Amino acid sequence: MQTAEIRRRFLRHFERHGHTVVPSAPLLLDDPNLLFVNAGMVPFKPFFLGQQTPPYRRATSVQKCVRTLDIDEVGKTSRHGSFFQMNGNFSFGDYFKRGAIELAWSLSTGSVAEGGFGLDPDRLWATVYHDDDEAAALWKEVTGLPDERIVRRGLADNYWHMGVVGPGGPCSEIYYDRGPQYGPEGGPEVDEDRYMEFWNLVFMQYELSAVRSKVDFDVRGPLPQPNIDTGMGLERIASILQGVDNLYEIDEVAPVLRRAAELAGKRYGREHADDVRLRVVADHVRTGLMLIGDGVVPGNEGRGYVLRRILRRAVRAMRLLGVDAATLPELLPVSKDAMRASYPELERDFARISSLAYAEEESFRSTLRAGTTILDTAVREAKSAGAPQLSGQRAFQLHDTYGFPIDLTLEMAAEQGLRVDEAGFRRLMQEQRERAKADAKAKRTGHADVSAYREVQDALGRPVEFTGYDEVSGEG
Ligand code: ATP
Ligand code: MG
Ligand code: MG
Ligand code: MG
């Protein structure tokens, strides 16, 4: 089943059950605590917080999401995209646990002929928060799941709040057993790759009076009217229904992966390290496309820097696969073609999107041209001198003269088996900053400050990744 069809069925199912279909909000919302929208409930936050009255009591959407905290997982797990789409259904003081479970179950296991996804109930598992007897009983009653496939888990996995005072409550996750070839049996507690989470149902039923961390908060009491917020990973359900190993192989992503493999002259599935790179390329090209499509421009700070980093990682992965020529002109149109059934605006806007992306690749290529030889020489020298690491001085020079962000230096040195004196580098950076401050007349010289990713985070006061689910401010 094609992803576009899965999305259509999801919306249709909930529309048939009285939900208003709400279009995806853009990835960028005006929210100082949030780099990008990273869960389906984000645009509905004012309703859940009671700041606005929703014009409907039931809503459904397919929301574009970017989770920066998942970037490092990309390509390594089978289920984390930096960009993904979250199918959701929401109840504002309308149906609660029973309704949410019934609606999720009937769509998941309903026959394909009648608009469902036709999942085999024998492969499904549900989790509940450890003291949520009500949900456990409902799973049993509504779905007929046997007790051993209704698993109780603690705060870290099965409790949700916004990281601030406001609504919170237990949640249930639905897992699909992909079979013994993916790992040992025993349920999601044993192996989250074999048992893949594809849907999370949040039962917002309490009001929290203080929140100190994800797992440390006080409950004031029950909410006057409880809400439902669910999120089903579109790519995850697509990977299940398309019978592929991971979400980089679904119809909306795989064409980029295949084209990248072709350009590199690699056979996907042969060598693990290459496969990871191909998956990173496929994922990151799409994320770049969607971010630029929603108005993000590559830059040196904040959101622009995340985009820059993502595009550069894709380009670097292609270089590591052996492709030195510009690659985005080959890959970006393929991604756009794979996504345009769901996002026709990408086609209309493609001239703008692609020129920004291609320019970014060009500027990165010239950075690399200038710095790579220097880095390689430095690495060779350090090694032959028996130095345990590349000096902070070298890293600083690469940054200052060649525009190499420290993370790039770290990554490239690591590929050659060398660490970098990061503390030394940071000391020199700090000295430079102080010199600049001391010099009252100092003005920007036009030299690009290519800050490290981590510095960006610091400047933002650590980007607070607010998700409806599990990435809470200050957690790490
Ligand atoms: P996981 O535990 O697998 O990281 P999660 O519990 O962090 O997932 P939620 O925050 O519950 O995910 O998000 C709701 C749903 O969105 C998940 O059940 C999953 O289907 C999907 N999802 C979450 N993160 C990603 C991602 N990085 N890529 C693709 N889908 C995702
Ligand atoms: Mg989870
Ligand atoms: Mg979850
Ligand atoms: Mg997660």
CB atoms within 10 A of CB 195: 25
Q: Which of 10, 162, 287, 469 to mutate to test the pocket of ligand 1 (most atoms within 8 A of CB)?
A: 469
Among residues 257, 277, 289, the alpha carbon closest in space to that of 411 is found at 277
Span 15-67, pLDDT tens digits: 999 999 999 999 999 888 889 999 999 999 999 988 999 999 999 999 999 99
Q: How far is the CA of 383 from the centre of ligand 2 (A)?
A: 43
Looking at per-residue confidence, does 461 or 113 come out higher?
113
Q: For ligand 1, atom 13, name the residue with the nearest CA.
A: 231
Q: Which residues lie with the beta carbon below 6 Å from any ligand 1 atom? A: 67, 70, 79-81, 84, 86, 197-200, 231-233, 235-236, 467, 469-470
**Res 215: pLDDT:** 92
Q: Which of 197, 283, 465 to mutate to test the pocket of ligand 1 (most atoms within 8 A of CB)?
A: 197
pLDDT at 447 over 60: no
Provide DSSP, 424-468.
HHHHHHHHHHHHHHH-TT----S------HHHHHHHTTS-----S
Residues 143, 137: Cα–Cα separation, whole Å = 10
Q: How far is the CA of 410 from the centre of ligand 4 (A)?
A: 26
Atom of ligand 1 nearest to the CA of 231: 14
Span 68-114, pLDDT tens digits: 999 989 999 999 999 999 999 999 999 999 999 999 999 999 999 99
Residue 61, class by beta-carbon neighbours within 10 Å (0-12 exposed, 13-18 middle, 19+ buried)?
Answer: buried
**Ligand approaching nearest to the C-alpha of 233:** 1
pLDDT at 440 over 60: no
**Res 455: pLDDT:** 35
SS3 234: helix
Span 389-411, pLDDT tens digits: 999 999 999 988 888 878 789 98
**Ligand approaching nearest to the C-alpha of 85:** 1
Residues 22, 62: Cα–Cα separation, whole Å = 8
Stated pTM of the model: 0.88
91 within 8 A of 101, measured Cβ to Cβ: no
Residue 13 pLDDT class (50, 70, 90 cuts): very high
Q: How far is the CA of 434 from the centre of ligand 3 (A)?
A: 44
Q: How far is the CA of 470 from the centre of ligand 4 (A)?
A: 7
Among 190-194, 213-217, 265-269, 366-370, name the one with the lowest average pLDDT: 366-370
Looking at per-residue confidence, does 310 or 162 come out higher?
310
Span 348-378, pLDDT tens digits: 999 999 999 999 999 999 988 888 888 999 9
What is the residue extent of each domain of the chain?
3-241, 253-427
**Ligand approaching nearest to the C-alpha of 36:** 1
Strand 58-66 to 83-92 pairing? antiparallel
Q: How far is the CA of 404 from the centre of ligand 3 (A)?
A: 37
**Ligand approaching nearest to the C-alpha of 470:** 1
pLDDT, average across residues 220-245: 96
Q: How far is the CA of 47 from the centre of ligand 2 (A)?
A: 24
Q: Which of 61, 124, 200, 239 to mutate to test the pocket of ligand 1 (most atoms within 8 A of CB)?
A: 200
Q: For ligand 1, atom 23, name the residue with the nearest CA.
A: 233
Residues 151, 145: Cα–Cα separation, whole Å = 11
258 within 8 A of 268, measured Cβ to Cβ: yes
Residues 162, 155: Cα–Cα separation, whole Å = 14
Residues 105, 94: Cα–Cα separation, whole Å = 18
| DSSP type of residue 267 | -
For residue 155, the surrounding DSSP H or E stretch is helix 155-158
pLDDT mean across residues, the chain? 90
**What CATH homologous superfamily does 3-241 map to?**
Bira Bifunctional Protein; Domain 2 (3.30.930.10)
What is the value of ipTM here, to two decimals? 0.99
Q: How far is the CA of 16 from the centre of ligand 2 (A)?
A: 28
Strand 419-420 to 389-390 pairing? parallel
Among 131-135, 172-176, 437-441, name the one with the lowest average pLDDT: 437-441
Span 211-231, pLDDT tens digits: 999 899 999 999 989 999 999
**Res 441: pLDDT:** 53
Share of the chain above pLDDT 90, in %: 80
Residues 184, 57: Cα–Cα separation, whole Å = 42
297 within 8 A of 354, measured Cβ to Cβ: no
Q: Which of 37, 162, 236 to mutate to test the pocket of ligand 1 (most atoms within 8 A of CB)?
A: 236
pLDDT at 157 over 80: yes
Q: How far is the CA of 200 from the centre of ligand 3 (A)?
A: 5
Q: How far is the CA of 157 from the centre of ligand 4 (A)?
A: 10
Atom of ligand 1 nearest to the CA of 470: 10
Span 318-354, pLDDT tens digits: 998 999 999 999 999 999 999 999 999 999 999 999 9
**Res 451: pLDDT:** 32
Residues with CB under 5 A from ligand 2 (ion): 197
pLDDT, average across residues 452-456: 35
Among residues 244, 318, 246, 310, the alpha carbon closest in space to that of 277 is found at 318
Q: How far is the CA of 67 from the centre of ligand 4 (A)?
A: 9
Residues 351, 372: Cα–Cα separation, whole Å = 31
Atom of ligand 1 nearest to the CA of 198: 20
Q: For ligand 1, atom 10, name the residue with the nearest CA.
A: 469
**Ligand approaching nearest to the C-alpha of 70:** 1
